[in-house]
């Protein structure tokens, strides 16, 4: 049962697609207040678990910390960070009387879940203008399904998007991409996509290609596709300010960029230098920006990733002027000057809350200050693309995923979890985050396997790939200046080949499981507790996940570990996929086990009475033979 409550004058985010009439009175669960903003408070029982929040730090159970929905361009995802790239305001309180709450509010919102007081759940925001949806259900899993139904069906990517992809910030020329292709093909490691980061553009300008490095881009795209590889270019949020650049000039002429309060176009520096931000909350501007994806689609491109769309700001003209004035005063002062304050001023220049108050969107003729709708920008940039694809290529699925997001964007594309690091704890965070993202509708998701920033190690990349075998988006991505971490760069590449081949052997099962989850408003990844609600021990397991109705995974995520402890809620068969398309099988009883897992193995636990299809390996998805299938199951 779902009830909707209206407070004040909410902004229509279109996150919810079902027409639900607002109730009178107060929600049954918790207490609400509209004094000095909005707050929702609920006293939690000691054994209640809180799920949800999508792309958020820490564990599957969100109790014990504070989280802030405020889409943030911050690459250092340390344990103390309260905001990441997405804003997903859906929580489930799982206890004797389970309920879920979706706070449809597009600005900064704080979730204090037992942080200030261990038993108190308090959700608060500055303005009392929002919709609150309260969902009652049999259990947490039932509540998720109800919520997923009202927010609309999740995006379904093309089948090739379940192949393996290689990316690195620093591939600049046609020769760089050919080198990567040859590295994989020569080592017989499957590959379906190579991603194009910002260096493929001409001076970082959206919807351009560097003609010197790619003299005949359409022909290059065609030749790469003949090799079984699709090129997936990045699109950034900021449009470079440059005379003669048609996207910029057209946007200025038609008034399609975000404005300052005085009506002038707001300017902020990102990769191209000073840019304007397309006003993607304005329907006409959104259609205009989306139409430009045609430039690349017409050259054979079949997928994109949207980036820098929180939107990220390196600095604004106003912010830089303020900093220059401060530094001038700082230099002239002779005493009582703190170097720490100077450092903070410089660091806080990027993504300043003050800058987000400096520009406006035009929505239905009304000017809306950006900070009041900040969390909707990435959502609507990706929506611009998704809606355009339906016109440009109505009979074709286009791959699309984004860095920033809000609930509702899941209908137009997936997400990747942003600029992580080559850290073991980020592998664990990746594992824990996946079911929470699924709860909020984001099924096509994944992290930068091996880590984006810092230098990866061979064992970390192998362990991360072994988990990535199961994430819908399986992409190795690294930052310029870091150690090269393509699979063929390390010693004994057969180990990498074996793990990536395991992905291809499982693609028919994984893609079918994904489609079922999307079409049935279900989850692809689930916590154990969702499948075994009466198993009290399963409720505390956060490093093992259920996939579909057939399997459980328990990735190894610890440096130098030879294996790990695993809890089985029921009898299962452990299948270890190994190099050269081999595998081992072992039936295990319900309970606790220690399993050894070498760096070259991918363990899968198949539930009793279930089977999964396995196919022969191919170098790309299109060459998979789905006619000749082998089945593995618990009772084989």
Are 511 and 159 in contact by the 8 Å Cβ rule? The answer is yes
- DSSP code for 558: S
Q: How far apart are CA 565 and CA 190, in angstroms?
A: 31
Q: How far apart are CA 316 and CA 238, in angstroms?
A: 12
Q: How far apart are CA 561 and CA 472, in angstroms?
A: 26
Q: Give the percent of the chain with pLDDT over 90.
A: 93
At 604 the pLDDT is 98
pLDDT band of 421, cuts 50, 70, 90:
very high
At 332 the pLDDT is 77
**pLDDT digit string, tens, across residues 394-419:** 999 999 999 999 999 999 999 999 99
What average pLDDT does this structure show over 512-541? 97
At 635 the pLDDT is 59
Do strands 583-588 and 572-577 pair parallel, antiparallel, or not at all (unpaired)?
antiparallel
pLDDT band of 227, cuts 50, 70, 90:
very high
pLDDT band of 634, cuts 50, 70, 90:
low
Token pair, residue 15, equals: 């996150």
Res. 625: pLDDT tops 80: yes
**pLDDT digit string, tens, across residues 484-518:** 999 999 999 999 999 999 999 999 999 999 999 99
Do strands 2-7 and 130-136 pair parallel, antiparallel, or not at all (unpaired)?
antiparallel
Angle at 549 between CA 543 and CA 553, to 5 degrees: 25
Residue spans in the chain of domains classed CATH 2.60.40.4040: 517-633
User: Given 1.10.3720.10, 2.40.50.140, 1.20.1070.10, 2.60.40.1760, which CATH number is that of 2-151?
Assistant: 2.60.40.1760
Say which residues have a Cβ less than 8 Å from residue 105's Cβ, sequence separation at least 6. Answer: 10, 38, 69, 89, 125, 129, 130, 131
Q: Which helix (H) or strand (E) holds 611?
A: strand 611-614
Token pair, residue 583, equals: 């595998």
Q: How far apart are CA 116 and CA 67, in angstroms?
A: 12
Q: How far apart are CA 58 and CA 528, in angstroms?
A: 17
Token pair, residue 594, equals: 């220690």
Token pair, residue 21, equals: 């009439």
Res. 214: pLDDT tops 90: yes
Are 410 and 442 in contact by the 8 Å Cβ rule? The answer is yes
| Biggest alpha carbon–alpha carbon distance for the chain | 81
Q: Does domain 517-633 have CATH number 3.40.1160.10?
A: no
At 336 the pLDDT is 66
Res. 276: pLDDT tops 70: yes
Query: How would you class 149 by CB atoms within 10 Å of its CB: exposed for 0-12, middle for 13-18, buried for 19 or more?
Result: middle
CA atoms in the 13 A half-sphere facing the CB of 87: 27
Q: How far apart are CA 446 and CA 431, in angstroms?
A: 9
Res. 170: pLDDT tops 80: yes
DSSP helix/strand/coil, 403: coil
Do strands 193-196 and 230-236 pair parallel, antiparallel, or not at all (unpaired)?
parallel
């Amino acid at each position: 049962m779902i009830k909707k409550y209206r407070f004040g004058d909410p902004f229509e985010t279109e996150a919810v697609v079902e027409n639900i009439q607002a109730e009178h009175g107060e929600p049954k669960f918790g207490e609400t207040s509209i004094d000095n903003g909005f707050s929702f408070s609920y006293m939690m029982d000691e054994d209640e678990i809180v799920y949800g929040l999508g792309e958020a730090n820490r564990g599957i159970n969100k109790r014990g910390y504070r989280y802030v929905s405020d889409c943030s361009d911050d690459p250092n995802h340390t344990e103390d960070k309260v905001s990441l790239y997405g804003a997903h305001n859906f929580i489930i309180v799982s206890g004797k009387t389970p309920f879920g709450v979706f706070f449809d509010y597009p600005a900064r919102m704080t979730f204090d879940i037992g942080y200030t007081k261990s038993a108190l759940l308090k959700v608060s925001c500055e303005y009392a203008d929002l919709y609150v949806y309260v969902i009652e259900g049999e259990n947490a899993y039932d509540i998720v399904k109800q919520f997923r139904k009202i927010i609309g069906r999740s995006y379904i990517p093309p089948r090739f998007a379940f192949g393996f992809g290689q990316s690195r910030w620093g591939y600049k020329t046609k020769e760089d991409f050919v080198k990567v292709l040859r590295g994989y093909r020569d080592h017989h490691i499957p590959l379906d996509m190579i991603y194009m980061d910002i260096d493929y553009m001409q001076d970082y300008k959206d919807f351009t290609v560097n003609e010197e490095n790619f003299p005949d881009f359409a022909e290059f795209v065609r030749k790469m596709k003949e090799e079984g590889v699709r090129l997936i270019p990045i699109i950034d949020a900021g449009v470079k300010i440059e005379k003669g650049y048609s996207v910029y000039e057209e946007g200025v002429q038609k008034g399609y960029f975000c404005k300052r309060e005085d009506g002038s176009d707001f300017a902020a520096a990102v990769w191209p230098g000073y840019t304007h931000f397309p006003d993607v909350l304005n329907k006409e501007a959104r259609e205009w920006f989306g139409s430009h994806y045609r430039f690349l689609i017409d050259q054979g491109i079949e997928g994109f990733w949207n980036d820098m769309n929180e939107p990220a700001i390196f600095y604004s003209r106003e912010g830089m002027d303020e900093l220059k004035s401060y530094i001038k005063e700082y230099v002239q002062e002779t005493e009582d000057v703190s170097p720490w304050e100077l450092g903070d001023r410089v660091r806080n220049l990027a993504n300043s809350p003050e800058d987000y108050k400096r520009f406006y969107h035009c929505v239905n003729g009304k000017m809306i200050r950006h900070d009041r709708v900040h969390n909707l920008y990435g959502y609507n940039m990706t929506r611009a693309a998704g809606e355009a694809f339906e016109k440009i290529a109505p009979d074709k699925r286009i791959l699309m995923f984004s860095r920033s997001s809000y609930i509702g964007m899941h209908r137009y594309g997936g997400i990747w979890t942003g600029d992580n690091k080559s850290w073991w704890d980020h592998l664990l965070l990746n594992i824990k985050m996946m079911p929470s993202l699924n709860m909020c509708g984001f099924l096509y998701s994944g992290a930068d396997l091996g880590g984006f920033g810092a230098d990866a190690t061979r064992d970390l990349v192998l362990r991360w790939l072994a988990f990535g075998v199961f994430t819908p988006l399986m992409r190795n991505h690294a930052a310029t200046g870091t150690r090269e971490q393509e699979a063929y760069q390390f010693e004994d590449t057969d180990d990498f080949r074996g793990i990536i081949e395991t992905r291809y052997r499982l693609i028919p099962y994984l893609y079918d499981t994904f489609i079922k989850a999307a079409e049935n408003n279900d989850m692809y990844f689930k916590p154990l507790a969702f499948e075994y609600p009466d198993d009290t021990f399963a409720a505390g397991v956060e490093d093992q996940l259920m996939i579909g109705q057939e399997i459980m995974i328990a990735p190894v995520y610890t440096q130098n570990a030879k294996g790990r402890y695993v809890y089985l809620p029921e009898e299962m068969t452990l299948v270890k996929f190994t190099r050269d398309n081999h595998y081992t099988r072992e039936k295990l009883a319900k309970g606790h086990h220690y399993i050894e897992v070498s760096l070259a193995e991918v363990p899968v636990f198949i539930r009793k009475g279930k089977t999964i299809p396995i196919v022969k390996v191919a170098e790309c998805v299109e060459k998979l033979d789905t006619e000749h299938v082998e089945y593995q199951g618990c009772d084989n």
